Structure 1
């Protein structure tokens, strides 16, 4: 099932995409997609609904983050060997884990605002793994049973703050609007193999990133298991699983985000995003 939230910020309604790609209003059946409340059992009940039984949403409303209740926004660095190479860094022996601030989260079509003085804003299309059941030190073979579904993430970064201002990566990853999520939460039953999805990102209509989750250094099951040993994962938490090559930092010469740029990005079966840089 492809679930989403639509409408003005703070007043979103629940929707779903039907078999013909039309947006349906599910708000009469579910008040909000709050994953800590719904959990896997609640999502299972929602999957029994037929979106065609609900009214079509007219026009092109704003899409919000497709679910609520995100307590942690975890991200994985250098999880594609070819991206590590373009960054001039070694392929990690264990997952590199950092956090994006939950205040950076925004809708999939909302503008991305560069912070004052930013000169090295960058893009990163990533598969987002959405947790549906509390995961604490889970085994890898059981890890995917804790996943509610998948979504698209743009792990927007400010490379100067990430790499040159001392300390952790978190500083360059957590600026407001640096975490677009959506357009949909695609439930796990519709993604039988999360390691077989193509990813892409264009800048101003020009191809930049092309990749596949098949080339991840650490797969989704390994990441959920690993992170759950570092911190307890709760329903609604998101893990952004790393980006394929083609980021601005890796270009020769580097090409960083400027006001007026438009990023479009997506993942096979999970929908697409579009953000204007302001």
Structure 2
């Protein structure tokens, strides 16, 4: 299933399931459809994730029922809803330089990060939950940031609690996958990395566009086949598939589980090659500027759109 968290007319959180009607993508409003069908189903994203297999089965049954009937009474138009982040805002664990070709472009760079590359375990940082913003958000470039960069990534959503002592397969803890754009203030990031840290350069307000959909893990038998890309004003900047990952999704879950991960937590993959920072000969013309429209996409999941102001 491809599911979303949003507000429709009248406000309040809604759980929606993407479906196609006459070639057009619409959202089945789970609360409305469930009431009409007299189905007992979760009506919030966290209710669905925390409910486990039984709630997933009930929601799939509702999807089958509603898709056959296609009643406009319980359909919402994605173009007219107010999007929410796919799960309530929480901190993310973000991998760094985890695509092979992006690692190589970093090594070939004359920036400070070239000599600080991981080898035997993932490197990364925390993205504060307060930075996360939904699809169609306007993100303001901070006044003291010029080197404003994009990074398309896939973020996995945890469906089970897991820690370093858990006797479960890390892959089974993945509920689904969504799209993430790890916006970065490079001048701040590079200065911080001289001190052996990354914090402010990744955590200005609204630096975490995410969504719009979660594609559930049962729809992704081989996540290495996921294809991700990014465009700025329609121009393709990044394009890769997850066969280029250094540390796989389960390996990232296993590593970050040392924090003690809980249901709904988010882990991102890192980004593929093509960021503005490593563009030659001059990255300045590639950095994001007010007026830019950024589209981050993952085939099969959707497109996350962000407007720079």
Could you say which residue in structure 1 is the equivalent of 2:110?
none
Between the two proteins, the alignment pairs up a number of residues equal to 276
Is 1:25 the counterpart of 2:29 in the alignment? yes
Could you say which residue in structure 2 is the equivalent of 1:47?
60
Q: Which of these residues, 79, 92, 99, is aligned with residue 80 of structure 1?
A: 99
Q: In proportion to residue count, which structure has more helix?
A: 2
- Return closer, same or farther for 1:73/1:43 CA change in 2, 3 Å cut-off: farther
Could you say which residue in structure 1 is the equivalent of 2:301?
270
SS of corresponding position for 2:229: strand
Could you say which residue in structure 2 is the equivalent of 1:114?
141
> Deviations along 1:115-170, whole A, 9 cap, x unmatched?
22111111011011100000112689811111111101111111122121445212
Could you say which residue in structure 2 is the equivalent of 1:159?
186
| Aligned Cα root-mean-square deviation (Å) | 2.3
Could you say which residue in structure 2 is the equivalent of 1:207?
236
- Return closer, same or farther for 1:190/1:159 CA change in 2, 3 Å cut-off: same
| Distance in 1 between residues matched to 2:167 and 2:199, nearest whole Å | 26
Give the TM-score of the pair, scaled to structure 2. Answer: 0.82
1:112 deviation in Å?
A: 1.8
Q: What are the equivalent positions in structure 2 for 1:134-145 lying under 5 Å apart?
A: 134-137=161-164, 142-145=169-172
Q: Which runs of 5+ in 2 are unaligned?
A: 35-41, 108-113
| Distance in 2 between residues matched to 1:143 and 1:86, nearest whole Å | 30
1:214 deviation in Å?
A: 0.8
- Return closer, same or farther for 1:193/1:258 CA change in 2, 3 Å cut-off: same
Could you say which residue in structure 2 is the equivalent of 1:246?
274
SS of corresponding position for 2:104: helix
SS of corresponding position for 2:179: strand
| Distance in 2 between residues matched to 1:272 and 1:226, nearest whole Å | 28
Contact 2:90 2:128 in 1 (8 A): no
| Distance in 2 between residues matched to 1:87 and 1:125, nearest whole Å | 16
> Deviations along 1:65-115, whole A, 9 cap, x unmatched?
1222x5431100000121122223345331003100000011021112222
Is 1:65 the counterpart of 2:78 in the alignment? no
SS of corresponding position for 1:136: coil
Q: Which of these residues, 98, 121, 124, is aligned with residue 97 of structure 1?
A: 124
Contact 2:3 2:15 in 1 (8 A): yes
**Which stretch shows the higher mean deviation, 54-63 or 190-199?**
54-63
SS of corresponding position for 2:144: coil
> Deviations along 1:227-267, whole A, 9 cap, x unmatched?
11x21110000001111001010111112111111111111
1:47 deviation in Å?
A: 2.6
The structure having more radius of gyration, on CA atoms, is 2
Q: Which runs of 5+ in 1 are unaligned?
A: none
Could you say which residue in structure 2 is the equivalent of 1:6?
6
